[in-house]
Amino acid sequence: MPEVILTGASGRLEGSFSPGKTPNAPIALILHPHPKAGGQMNNAVTIQLYRVFMKRGFATLRFNFRGVGKSQGEFDSGIGELADAATALDWLQANNPTASQCWVAGYQFGAWIGMQLLMRRPETDGFISVSPPTNVYDFSFLAPCPASGLILHGSNDAVASPTEVERVVAKLRTQKGITIAYDLVEGANHYWSDHLDEVEIRTGAYLDRRMAGGKS
């Protein structure tokens, strides 16, 4: 997993990249949780998402948002972080020009940034959002959502209640042409403290279904 340095709008961005197993391997961008709450690319859930795609042969990149780790710049309340994510996806696409698919996955704050990125990149084929903070950030921008994906959440999430997440899921499911899978893991909290293995199991199973030609 070689370290890479990307050139972002606020300076360098520190990343970790796993090359694809074939020339036309699909690509995946992984986004970490809130920088002001200790979020960084080596967060345990972020690493799980990275491994899910890496094990399936994707060209996979995770990186630190501006101001985190060796990445330059300062926290920008989501605006600059969205620009960072776009920079990272540009890098992935430039280095994998024949990629067969494009995926975005994120945890918590990273899920919010990732779903905004979807709206700006219609070439995205799928997404995975873990514990999206629908109670903190407005997700109404998903109108319409351009890609099918999975939303994974814990039943004991005290930060973003399942009720709030399910409201967003219900709205997304009214759209035609996409399929939103919703997987509620019994007993899991916002940080997946005792259910970390479930992140890889559930997201891996979903990805396997999608790559086999399924819609959900």
- Give the tokens for residue 190: 């916002």
- Give the tokens for residue 1: 């997993």
Single out the residue of 113, 107, 84, 71 nearest to residue 8, CA to CA: 84
| Residue of higher predicted confidence among 183 and 1 | 183
pLDDT for the residue 2? 86
pLDDT for the residue 33? 98
pLDDT for the residue 29? 98
pLDDT for the residue 1? 62
User: What is the arithmetic mean of pLDDT over 98-116?
Assistant: 98
**pLDDT above 90 coverage of the chain, percent:** 95
Residue 103 near residue 25 (C-beta atoms within 8 A): no
Domains contained in the chain, CATH given? 3-211 (3.40.50.1820)
What is this structure's pTM?
A: 0.97
Q: Tell whether the model's pLDDT for residue 7 goes beyond 80.
A: yes
pLDDT for the residue 126? 98
> CB 178: neighbour CB atoms within 10 A?
15
The whole-angstrom separation of Cα 68 and Cα 84 is 12
Q: Tell whether the model's pLDDT for residue 185 goes beyond 90.
A: yes
pLDDT digits (tens, 9 = 90+) for 20-41: 999 999 999 999 999 999 999 9
- Give the tokens for residue 142: 């998903």
pLDDT digits (tens, 9 = 90+) for 61-85: 999 999 999 999 999 999 999 999 9
